[in-house]
């Protein structure tokens, strides 16, 4: 009897000990806590393509004269940097070659190098403007150029979609769009833009060339000069001793003649 009770107690105790272990083995482990997935970063804005103004103006139209002025005054470096290294961009007004050839008075050849550089800078705005922007830009006139503000500013008017420019000294209009992709806009104009700050004052005239030295012709040369450039010796007057001897002979002849007359 005691043995059976002992076996029953041992079985019960063994069951109680093994039951939690089996329960733990059968239970699934808790799911791990994952950190929140970060949202993807927005893609960077595409870099605008590099614009080479020299190449563009070389093939876009008859702009060789303006391009030569850009290079000789080194303004091309200023425009190139503004076009590709700033967020503002640039707007350039380019006269055709015949616009320069039609200039009569005043002429750009009378300007100093500093004045010529200001004239070329006067043909650009330090911001990109599409053709549609000029309608609003006309309400903000005058607009500062690369040459400065005040007398170096431009006035814009939009007449039925045609953009007119007034420098205070010259007037022209945009005749065509050469290139208009942000950040560079290039528009063809019919005339050279002349700032009043320079051409509204007296421009010193170009100094006249020195007169060429006069060369005497052979007909104007003195008769006393020989063909080889040496002077011919002048005829010397009669010697005084020679005159005295001649006078003595004359007196001697007269004396002899008088003696002969007495004897005859």
Give the pLDDT score at 185: 97
Quote the DSSP letter at residue 227. T
Question: Is pLDDT of 6 > 50?
Answer: yes
Q: With a threshold of 0.75, does the pTM exceed it? A: no
If one counts the domains in the chain, the total is: 1
Give the pLDDT score at 160: 87
As a whole number, mean pLDDT of residues 49-55 equals 89
Question: Is pLDDT of 155 > 90?
Answer: yes
Cβ atoms < 10 Å from Cβ of 192: 23
Q: Find out whether 199 and 103 touch, Cβ atoms under 8 Å.
A: no
Asked whether residue 255 is assigned to any structural domain, the reply reads: no
Asked whether residue 162 is assigned to any structural domain, the reply reads: yes
Q: Which of 129, 126, 237 is nearest to 185 (CA)?
A: 129
Give the pLDDT score at 232: 45
Question: Is pLDDT of 135 > 70?
Answer: yes
Tell me the pLDDT of the chain averaged across its residues.
76
Q: Find out whether 173 and 166 touch, Cβ atoms under 8 Å.
A: no
Inter-helix orientation angle 113-121/64-72, to 10°: 120
The CA-atom distances, in angstroms, between 56 and each of 8, 51, 94, 152, 191 are 104, 8, 12, 26, 20
The enclosing domain of 103 has a CATH number of 2.30.180.10
Pairing of strands 184-189, 90-95: parallel
Give the pLDDT score at 207: 45
Distance CA 157, CA 100 (A): 24
Asked whether residue 214 is assigned to any structural domain, the reply reads: no
Q: Which residue has the higher pLDDT, 45 or 128?
A: 128
Q: Residue 80 forms beta bridges with which residues? A: none
What domain range is 90 assigned to? 53-198
Q: Residue 226 forms beta bridges with which residues? A: none
Asked whether residue 234 is assigned to any structural domain, the reply reads: no
The 10s digit of each residue's pLDDT in 226-261 is 444 444 444 444 555 545 555 565 666 566 565 455
Asked whether residue 229 is assigned to any structural domain, the reply reads: no
Asked whether residue 230 is assigned to any structural domain, the reply reads: no
**What three-state secondary structure class fits 93?**
strand
Residue 137 pLDDT class (50, 70, 90 cuts): confident
Q: Which of 89, 99, 147 is nearest to 120 (CA)?
A: 147
Distance CA 90, CA 126 (A): 5
Question: Is pLDDT of 94 > 70?
Answer: yes
Task: Lowest mean pLDDT of 47-51, 77-81, 104-108, 220-224, name the range.
Answer: 220-224
Asked whether residue 139 is assigned to any structural domain, the reply reads: yes
Asked whether residue 231 is assigned to any structural domain, the reply reads: no
What is the percentage of the chain residues whose pLDDT exceeds 90? 42
Residue 79 pLDDT class (50, 70, 90 cuts): very high
Q: Which residue has the higher pLDDT, 17 or 186?
A: 186
**Which of 63-77, 150-164, 243-257 tops mean pLDDT?**
63-77
Output phi, psi for 178, to 5 deg. -85, -45
Q: Find out whether 103 and 110 touch, Cβ atoms under 8 Å.
A: no
Give the pLDDT score at 111: 92
Cβ atoms < 10 Å from Cβ of 28: 5
């Amino acid at each position: 009897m005691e043995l059976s009770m002992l076996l029953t107690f041992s079985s019960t105790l063994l069951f109680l000990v093994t039951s939690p272990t089996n329960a733990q083995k059968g239970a699934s482990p808790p799911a791990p806590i994952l950190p929140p997935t970060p949202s993807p970063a927005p893609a960077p804005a595409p870099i605008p393509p590099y614009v080479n103004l020299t190449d563009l103006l070389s093939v876009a139209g008859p702009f060789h004269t303006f391009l030569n002025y850009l290079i000789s005054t080194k303004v091309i470096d200023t425009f190139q940097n503004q076009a590709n290294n700033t967020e503002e961009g640039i707007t350039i007004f380019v006269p055709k070659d015949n616009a320069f050839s039609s200039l009569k008075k005043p002429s750009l050849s009378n300007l100093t190098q500093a004045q010529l550089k200001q004239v070329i800078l006067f043909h650009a705005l330090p911001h990109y403007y599409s053709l549609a922007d000029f309608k609003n830009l006309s309400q903000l006139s005058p607009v500062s150029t690369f040459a400065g503000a005040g007398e170096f500013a431009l006035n814009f008017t939009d007449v039925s979609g045609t953009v007119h420019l007034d420098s205070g000294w010259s007037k022209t209009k945009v005749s065509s769009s050469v290139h208009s992709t942000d950040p560079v806009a290039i528009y063809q104009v019919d005339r050279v833009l002349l700032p009043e700050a320079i051409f509204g004052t007296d421009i010193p005239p170009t100094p006249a060339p020195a007169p060429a030295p006069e060369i005497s012709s052979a007909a104007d040369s003195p008769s006393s000069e020989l063909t080889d450039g040496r002077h011919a010796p002048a005829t010397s007057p009669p010697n005084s001793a020679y005159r005295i001897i001649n006078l003595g002979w004359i007196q001697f002849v007269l004396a002899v003649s008088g003696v002969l007359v007495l004897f005859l």
